[in-house]
Structure 1
């Protein structure tokens, strides 16, 4: 890869890692549902000038609703006490779910290295499970664990969108996600609570939402899609390994998050397992989202 493209891939990983911290800051002023709605709404604005991608509308909706499920789950987890750094690691575990689901539904048999990576990452998740119930509830952790599963399913569908401009695709994905998100928002938060939250957002909170949508989603996916177009997945995807490190590090710096020995060991083991999968001779095609 060219030095500039290496720098861009690293920048995207940093942006997505910091996105978990921005999510935590934004959740101080609004619900997880409202934050997700605003993020998808801003991401959808380019639809006003961008054409609909040349793929079936049903596929766009399916990918969109899976990503809605992912973002709702991960923001819910953070809003209910799961540390942002730990969330970054758990969401990145989508790699092992992607490989497993590809084997189950697409009959793509994983390599020995990928099987080893799945086993290693699973052991790390098990270690993390032993720490649940102290600083956040089992229910919050269970909801959060649906995020990497939804992410993995969307990865499989995104593989059918090769050659489609990522900027166009994710703008229309944002639009398709607004209907279910607004329904959930009105049902869970209600019009009154939503209006109060919108009218009391600080400049800092608004900046976090804009950064998540414009920089994290629109710009991040445009750069990532361009890199995947110019290079093989084996060259680009390993940069996603930086995301959990950046997320955990930024969370520790901003919030002073400290991880006990067992949880820290679990996080490290998960990332090591993901590294084994991504750096294997035939890494899975993944798309990372914060």
Structure 2
């Protein structure tokens, strides 16, 4: 990877790590559904008039927005609003790796390797430790489940993307999120009514506006476009493991900017889950090297 693309990769990782901080400050002023509505309204406008619609059936575009956008972020925003620490949320969201492997095995008959199974078992053990930490800490255990649901929705979106095939990544992010905007809008007006939504919008400060703008234009458009560009130029196996650095950045940001405290159970779970992710991603390569090193 050349220097330019290395810097691009680091930028995307930093953006996605800081992304959780901006979610938190936006959720201090608006509800999860209104935040989602604002985020995807900004993503679509004016980009939907500037980018050509990808050659994908409408039902696949709708499925993309319903899973990877509405499902993922409605649950993630809900978890953060319930008090889930942003650093832990970023880590647990990486559970999408394991959910994706399971769904790919079901829908595409992709083989599940021993390192995948070991990684899943390790991640389950890490989640159990984090669950104990939640139970013993001040954050309600209930806040943990929406994050896992968000990870499952991201994984479902990954399967939709596999069915869609190769298209312009930025066009898919824009056109595929029309359904997300509609779903967030319906939920926002259903839960709070027109007056409630209007009151939340009127109460936005510059911090809340900055949070929404960052989520829409930096985290979504810049982040996904940069990531898609890297995937188009390099093997997925070289690029996707870099996402493991996102929770590291999010944990550091949460500690420095939000003063989020985690107990020993949390940190033990973090270490176990990160180790499980590393086994899942890199275990196959190590196993292959051991096989090639064996005498014939």
TM bin, normalised by shorter chain, reads over 0.9
Instruction: Give the equivalent residue in structure 2 for 1:139.
Output: 142
Q: Deviations over 1:15-70 (max 9, x none)?
A: 01100011001111111111111111111121111111111111110111012011
1:37 aligned partner: 37
User: 2:259, 2:279 → 1: CA distance?
Assistant: 30
Distance between the aligned counterparts of 1:201 and 1:181, measured in 2?
18
Between structure 1 and structure 2, the one with the greater Rg is 2
SS in structure 2 of the partner of residue 55 of structure 1 = coil
* Aligned pairs for 1:1-290 within 5 A: 1-45=1-45, 46-66=47-67, 67-133=69-135, 134-281=137-284
Unpaired segments of 5 or more residues in structure 2? 286-296
Preserved contact between residue 133 and residue 264 of structure 2 (Cα < 8 Å) = no
Checking the alignment, whether the CA contact within 8 Å between 1:24 and 1:84 is kept in structure 2 is yes
Deviations 1:125-169 (A, max 9, x none): 111112234423233322222100111111111122332011100
Deviation at 1:208, TM superposition (A): 1.2
Residues 101, 153 of structure 1: 8 Å contact kept:
yes
Q: 1:231-263: CA deviations, max 9, x gaps?
A: 110111011011100111101111111111111
In 1, are the aligned partners of 2:134 and 2:266 still within 8 Å (CA)?
no
Q: Which runs of 5+ in 1 are unaligned?
A: 283-290
Q: For 2:94 and 2:270, how far apart are their aligned partners in 1? A: 11
Give, in angstroms, the shift of residue 279 of structure 1.
2.4
How big is the shift at 1:76?
A: 0.5
Higher helix fraction: Structure 1 or Structure 2?
Answer: 2
Cα distance in 1 between the residues matched to 2:110 and 2:226 = 28
Two-structure CA RMSD over aligned residues (Å): 1.3
TM-score (normalizing by structure 2): 0.92
